[in-house]
Structure 1
Amino acid sequence: MNYLIAVYPDRITAEAAYTDLEQSEIPKSDLTILGKGYQTADEFGFIDPTQQGKKQAKLMSFWLVPFGFFGGFVFDYITGLNTFAWAGTPGNHIVGGLAGAIGGAMGSFFVGNSIGVLMGSGDALPYRNRLNMGKYLVIYKYDVSQYRDLATRIFQDTNPENLQGYSEESA
């Protein structure tokens, strides 16, 4: 699916652009307005960066927690620290491993969430921010580019703040 997204500062200009597109040959089913009183970013399907962050953190925890346990266990074994005398030698190794696993979990949480939020959302985050600022998006989605040039011309005539095209490959 391909998308052509125009950002407008207010509802009136977004509706005017939508009306101009609607009056041309472009099918109404391929047009969408996002903003207050219309569809939200979630309803349209923009990626939520916090969900991407949680997904990335969970993925990282599958290898960081065991690696942290192994690293903590080996560190305690090599150094021979007797941090907890009541636990004995094998207990100290296990406590060291648990401390390493906790460190791995913290790393996956903080780094995974940060990377997921910053990188996983692509351009959805700037569009979400613009919607939160009260702006409106007019989106034309199409499979083939038969009306793309017409839609681009109409969008440009209405002077949007931003006009950008996206191509999404189907898997």
Structure 2
Amino acid sequence: MRAGFCARRLLIVDVLVNFWNKLQDKVMKRLSALLSALLFSASPAIADDFVYLECVTKSVTTTKDLKSNQITKKDETTVTTHFKVDLANSRVQSAKDSQWDETELVNGTYIIDEEWTVNGFTSSMKFSMQLVPPGRITGDGLSRNDSILESSTARGMCKEVVASVFEEALNQ
């Protein structure tokens, strides 16, 4: 019985990691174009067509056992992420992942609203980011199967920084 519980827990952890990786990938892929269009039009004096951002986000993730109706885990984290936005080519680079990602803009706001199912877990996420001027980030996600529900919220703010701040974060 204990081995089955451990295997099930590992599967759940794997699904949740995949959920957050997918969220992060979608955010990165869509952020670039939105930042590019909005910041380029709002900041005519940007040198070399690049904008550098520092975003501080607090997230809370709660895991609930649906059979016992008990919260089994609650994590709170605050993360600072740095971005380099290439306005000329509509792409963004995170200091955590030096790979460039291309994205699209939606009416001046960066928005993700999606649902998917993987390995028996149904997941959904909504994410938005205000960019003119750089500002509020909000994100909400749910992932569940018949026995577990994980909910996550993220709230934060971005501000424009100088290139050296991004470069320092990139080299860490």
With normalisation by structure 2, the TM-score equals 0.30
Q: Which fold has the larger relative contact order, with Cα–Cα distance below 8 Å and residues 6 or more apart in sequence?
A: 1
Structure number with bigger Rg: 1
Query: Which one has the bigger helix percentage?
Result: 1
Query: Which one has the bigger strand percentage?
Result: 2
With normalisation by structure 1, the TM-score equals 0.30
